């Protein structure tokens, strides 16, 4: 991923972003959004929002999605919008593979098709990836096989390693 443009966000852009985050995730749903906001337009269909120089949010199809960096100190197993994978799936997920149903041990039933999910490991609850659910939670859990989450951003990818 290559950065094409990078600039500070205006106060009105930051207010709009914070409102969108609160509407989507609730006022207490994400860590505090305070600091210097910058937006990076990339050569892919994803823009990255930096908060104090750290990749903190992604914008894809006009949706603001938190990056993995927002969940580093969180046990993913306690979050809404979560998908938990078994230990055998970790190396595939962290190499960018989409999440397949057989590797999932648990998922939040309130997940909505097209919504973001945080993918974590079953043993430690560490965040591994951010993805887009291809099914609503109950349907995802009812499936026995196939791809259920599109992997958008994972540990070790270009967004994770973005150095500016």
Residues 6+ apart with CB under 8 A from 32: none
Kindly state whether residues 12 and 78 are assigned to the same domain.
no
pLDDT tens for each residue of 46-92:
889 998 888 888 888 878 888 998 888 889 999 888 999 999 999 99
Reported as a pLDDT band with limits 50, 70 and 90, residue 132 is very high
User: What's the pTM value of the predicted model, to 2 decimals?
Assistant: 0.85
Report, as an integer, the average pLDDT of 105-131. Answer: 95
Kindly state whether residues 56 and 84 are assigned to the same domain.
no
pLDDT score, position 1: 61
Kindly state whether residues 77 and 147 are assigned to the same domain.
yes
| Domain range for 89 | 73-154
Nearest to 66 by CA among 25, 38, 35, 23: 25
For residue 55, give the CATH number of its domain: 3.10.450.120
Kindly state whether residues 61 and 81 are assigned to the same domain.
no
Kindly state whether residues 55 and 77 are assigned to the same domain.
no
Q: Answer with the one of 44, 70, 96 that is the final residue of a domain.
A: 70
Kindly state whether residues 88 and 140 are assigned to the same domain.
yes
Judge whether residue 31 has pLDDT over 70: no
Kindly state whether residues 62 and 95 are assigned to the same domain.
no
Kindly state whether residues 150 and 81 are assigned to the same domain.
yes
Reported as a pLDDT band with limits 50, 70 and 90, residue 161 is confident
Kindly state whether residues 60 and 49 are assigned to the same domain.
yes
CA 72/CA 64 separation, integer angstroms:
18
Report, as an integer, the average pLDDT of 99-116. Answer: 95
Report which of residues 161 and 120 the model is more confident about.
120
Judge whether residue 25 has pLDDT over 90: no
Kindly state whether residues 27 and 97 are assigned to the same domain.
no
Q: What is the mean pLDDT of the chain?
A: 88
Nearest to 50 by CA among 61, 60, 35, 63: 35
For residue 94, give the CATH number of its domain: 2.30.130.10
Domain assignment of residue 163, yes or no: no
């Amino acid at each position: 991923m290559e950065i094409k443009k990078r600039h500070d966000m205006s106060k009105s852009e930051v207010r709009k972003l914070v409102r969108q985050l609160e509407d989507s995730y609730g006022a207490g749903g994400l860590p505090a959004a305070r600091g210097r906001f910058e937006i990076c337009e990339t050569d892919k269909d994803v823009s990255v929002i930096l908060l104090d120089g750290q990749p903190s949010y992604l914008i894809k199809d006009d949706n603001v999605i938190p990056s993995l960096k927002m969940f580093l100190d969180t046990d993913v197993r306690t979050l809404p919008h979560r998908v938990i994978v078994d230990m055998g799936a970790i190396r595939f997920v962290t190499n960018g593979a989409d999440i397949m149903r057989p590797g999932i041990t648990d998922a939040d039933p309130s997940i909505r098709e097209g919504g973001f999910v945080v993918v974590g490991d079953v043993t430690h609850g560490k965040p591994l990836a951010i993805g887009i659910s291809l099914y609503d939670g109950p349907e995802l859990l009812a499936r026995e096989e196939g791809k259920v989450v599109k992997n958008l951003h994972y540990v070790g990818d270009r967004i994770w390693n973005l150095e500016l």
